[in-house]
Chain A
Amino acid sequence: MISSPDLVAFTKETDFSEIVKDPSVLPEELSVPLYPYTGDTTPWSKTSGANFTKDFILLSEFSEQVGPQPLLTVPPETKACGTFDLNHFSLRIMSVDYQTSLTGPAGCGSLKLNFVEDSKVVLGDSREGAFAYVHHLTLYDLEARGFVRPLCLAYVSSDENKIIQQFQQLSAEFSKVSECLKTGNRKNFANELEIKLRDLEHTRVVLLREIEREVNNASVMCTNERERMLNGIPTLDVKLKEKSLSHRDEVKLQEKGRCEISRKAEVECEKGNRSCITYDRDEQFGGRRKNKQDKGSCPTPLADKGDELASVEKSIQEFKSLLKQVTCYRTRKLRDSEYSPYEPDDLPHSFEFDLDDLRHGQLAGPVLECNVFPCTDTPLHSLKPINSISSCRFDKRLKTLEELCDDYFHQQALQQLNSIERTFRGDTCHLYSQQLCRNLLRNLKSTNFLFEDPCDLEEEVGLQIGIAGQHSVRQPSFLPAPSILSEPVSLESYVSCVEMVPIKLELGGSSQSTAVPSYVNTPAEDNRPLTSSVVETEMENGCVVSASDCQENVEMCVSALMKTSISSGDSIEVLGTEKSFRSQGSNILMDTALQRPPPLSTTAVLEGLRQGRVTTIRTCSEDSIEVLCTTESILPEDLRASYSCAIDEESPEQETDEKDISHNQEDKQVECVYGVGNKVPGDHGGACMEDPQDFYPAVTLTPPDCPMTLTLGRSSSQDACHASELIPLSLLDEPCRIVPDDLSDCFSYRSTTASTTSECTFPTCLPKNKREGGTRRRRGRVGRAALQFLQQFPFAVHAVFSLLCGRTLVVLGSEEAAVRRLVTALSVYMPHLSRYRDGIQPWTSTPLQLTDLLNWKLIGFNRMCCFTYINMPHCLGHYSRYLSILDVDQKTLRCPVYSGTLLNPLVEPRSHFKRGNTYFMFAQSVQSKLVTTAFLLTFSHGFHTPRRPWESTWTQCFHSEIHRDDKKILNYLSELIKLHFMEVPPNVLRFSYTTNSIFKL
């Protein structure tokens, strides 16, 4: 419902103002915020200046030959970007490459791979009107300079708010893609290394033999064999063979070990010039030999041979170290709990085996060729001595992405990119509300299976991580700003991968006078709360912001901030980085955990900002790239810590800690009740009616999985008791307020309205991305069908009643399309039996079995399945007691009569709704009310064991005022909730002996 713009329009302004006044109302953080823009901008008035119509994903590479170039876009270029200059944009996003390099002492002994986490930045190009989430990563390539191939994945959109809001999700999703690519790349890189190592070993052996020979016959000239060895094989041949071998090796590797694949860390090549240097030395070594060859066929002096041998051995050592680094990365990375390696199952052996082999080979020395790689030697692989001079790297073809990355992983990555594109397609408002819904729904664990769309409920790991508790989504625009302000930055220089030019970073204190004045930096030791700094910033920006704690104000500040930062002309701005978002998210987590209306309490912020922040701004970029905050945002401590190890990666401990803290607080808050005196201390009842003297008597429900508290104003409950209308409705309509629990169950009318989205037309059989895309359309279709059904059958309410009280409804007809259409329409009203069973059989011709009745609650049945009983197939007659039958052909309905009132809103407004989508969501909201009441019924302790006299108020109401038929509905839903809660599959058929009536059109 909140996902639908037309329902937003229905919401009255007064509803919100009421809430503010009432102390027991839904707190702000649980309410659905309106679109955060105020004043001049509305979500609809925004026009984009970009010359592309749809968001797209761009994968570009910094080619060492031609510079930044776009590699591919999702969707393909012609569809996506129109006249947008991809080359230009690639240039821009690739020129902001953040790689903290730790340049060790030059000429250091061995090659080192620098495993740096990907950088995640938001860049804006306001002249182009393009904004992008940019995810830089580097792949390994033995033939590339410095072994690295810098790549970047960018989600390009014309809406900067979308990028900002979805940063967490984008970051999580792109990290997955990046992991996938890098895993595949590591696999290929390890292959490459092994081949290289084998060749080196071969060279070494040959050299050793020659030296031996020369020692023996010092006067003997160099043999033809050696000539051939040195000159005979052109470089190209070697390369080609290597390539063909790499395919072989893939097969071989699959036999070798799953470990190799599963070590999935980021092999991020250090841009370090050390490796470049080494590589160059390698080349020099080759060149020197070439020179030697050029000298002619004169006998090579023994000393030269010795040098060569030494160089080769050194290279071997270096490559082994490289290989070891690549292979060991997995084990180090595994301690990261969020780290989920790709683990194909078909790789029986471990990669360590190879390492052992290598070590063994090291010892084996001369016999290496025949012994070292016994299992890997393939007839195709003839060892090549490394004597070729690397051809000029500018005329050799660089490996394509397909070659860089293992095929399987490459395909996976492409699929993921496509799925990302689909997931984030569309308007940011829609996207946001959809995510909001999902996050709210996710907390309704006890009941969300009943009517909600399974695709809204499925656990999306990436999103889950990215969301950091639902708060980042809840206050999306609130997120980025304060973190940007306080983002810590390392004092180290940022080294461009391209030029190795250290870019100077100014310390935060001095940067206040720099290009982007809105980004005022908190001095390093300043532990002021975020809010104050925000306010301060706003003041400096000229925005008038009161220093109130109101979150909306902060949000406004933030959005203003964002805008300010973006508006700076012809430049790409880094608008936020991952870490900033993350730490910000945790701040908010703690704030809400504290459950105080002022959103940013000082303690929480202090907790979050345990360490002083230093903000830097890079000012020296020539192409007016403004770095507003840095990628890794590594605190100096982090840097120092990581100095010690050869492979640097960002340590996630801090975030983990913060998360833990916030989780703990969440847990503690489960029982907290908003409003002092609402809670009876030590009450162990699931529903504790409050002391009547209390101002807020409450039904406090704390089921375990959805910690929530229903606080029920006494006056309203009395009203409810005396009101002529039904209790649950009045309960739900207003007096029921939610405690500002951080887990935020939504039980207000509005929020239940918000918990929208269900689509019962067999969504489980669709692949995820299809569901994503078509949900809205499908809902519209289903809603239209339902409206049509309501208009067609005046007795529709009885059929709906059958569905909602668990009686199987058979749609009997001879025409499949008509039956299916009706089944689709009725699916709107059908509660799911459990999360993974939707209980709908749209069309069947086989006679019904008893077990079918347990599994299916809505059946489309082919009348023609048995010709003997034209009117009523025998099986339907036999089980007629358990079935309601809607006869499409004769337009009759045989089912129990419904005479309650709960369902009336569901069928009455048939004349008011024009759009299927709207009706669908309206139906959902009515059902949400039912579910809420059923939930209350299920978890009201007093209802089941009336121990205290005052407890029974509500239950008495339930018994006395609710109509028998409505009780049936609620009981059925309650039974489903119970079974779901007990994790028992719904394997019983509940029925009642009631009279059936026949309705005829």
Chain B
Amino acid sequence: MADCGEANGPERKNEIVRAKNEEKELTKEEKQRLRKEKKQQKKQKEKKDDKGSSEKSGREKTLDPLSASQVLSTQSPTQKVPASAPIPVPPSGAPSHSSGAPSHSSSGAPSPADKPAKSKAELKAERRARQEADRASKQQGSSSSSKTKAPASDLNPVVKRLPEHVQVDDPAVVKRLAKKLERQQIPLRSDYGYKVSLFSHLHQYSRKAPLTQLLSIPSSVIHPSIVRLGLQYSQGIVTGSNARSVALLHAFKQVIMDYSTPPNEELSRDLVNKLKPYISFLNQCRPLSASMGNAIKYIKKEISNIPSQYKEEEAKTKLLECIDKYIDEKVVLAAKAISKYAIEKISDGDVILVYGCSSLVNHILCEAFDKNRKFRVIVVDSRPRLEGREALRRLVQIGISCTYVLISALSYVLPEVSKVFLGAHALLANGYVMSRVGTSQIALVARAFNVPVLVCCETYKFCERVQTDSFVSNELDDPDELMVTRKGKTQLEDWHDLSTLGLLNLVYDVTPPDFVDLVITDLGMIPCTSVPVVLRVKNVDQ
């Protein structure tokens, strides 16, 4: 039984892997087939459980008593490991598994009392037996991988869908995207220039080729305020997570105000369908940020929840109010709450280091200055965006004394810094902070110098994605921005002609939670690892 279990295991694994690779074409039939096979296997197992229950109990007892004691002693801690490791596995699987393990380590054979309980218990027992056999055969601790894979394959196979924007090097995905855009009548923006091979799975667009040159001039398919917004995104006139979300919601307000329900349609369904091509268009202009994604989810939920008896005018007013409320709560009030908490952390005589231009951090520092805290600021900046100049202007304008350095001088200024305040573009579910490229460097060096790093982030920027490095999902900006013209000469002018040269202009990077000491949110000051808790609480609320 252990053998056929093993045979099942790797076979199912292969199928899952194959299914993952081909998941683009995972049609309904294939999904049904998978489900049927799962059911069959469960039935097989139950049959064999019935047959071999007596054998199994006998087999367990026939194990070498020495190895059994070894196995039993090492079993309980190692059994906990597979429970925590497979996070994507549905949580219902893990607790039942861990609860099953101690009961088995205490008692030998499962009691064949009730049929359903027996089958579950039998399943667990035979799994345990398989694991013992694995361990006994290999006699090394490296079989934990097969252990974790074995229970995972028995539980529901989770087929993860990769988002489209990180699969640009896969022609099938690109074709699908092109077809979808064609259906929505939105032009496809073509990639530009040579892409560094590590990032060839991401889009890279040129600022000089805006999407509007492929659109008709009085844009009829896309609402004019959305075209304007897309243009402002792609040209960098609206940058910064907060600004982009607020501008997005403003544009949606215009769309809703100009919307009229076609006959025989319901506002709650039709408006959501109207918004889909707009969102694709904005995505083509510039990949959506996490805060924008959350705002869109909120709007779609609000629209779908409009009761059908509402008249159009009422519904529209309600939606506009919802948008205003969302912005007030999540952006304006959150900023106030965060400044309140952050100001507690700023004491007189502090030297605060900030990086780039984060609207929230600037707001905090301005508020702190208004409350007569005595501190000075070091603004760290980096090419090619040089956003620190704008932060510098805003801080100096209200009277804070500032120093301005480039990121290459970071280790020289850090000895005099007392705290580092960083803004975030998004906070990921595993506690990583996604922010402007260079932030992780600052956090790393600050940790090396034992300087506390505080990240300020509103809760609406928390997202459920998980990422541990900056390669898998990022944004590539126009590589021509890296060119600099000094005294009339541009050194990198002909970089396209050199086949061995590639220019890389990354926008984001992720900072591990070990480098961040505190996250200041509107819910309070939490450690970085509590982000999943906040997400869970938010989901329960909604």
Instruction: Tell whether A and B belong to one assembly.
Output: no
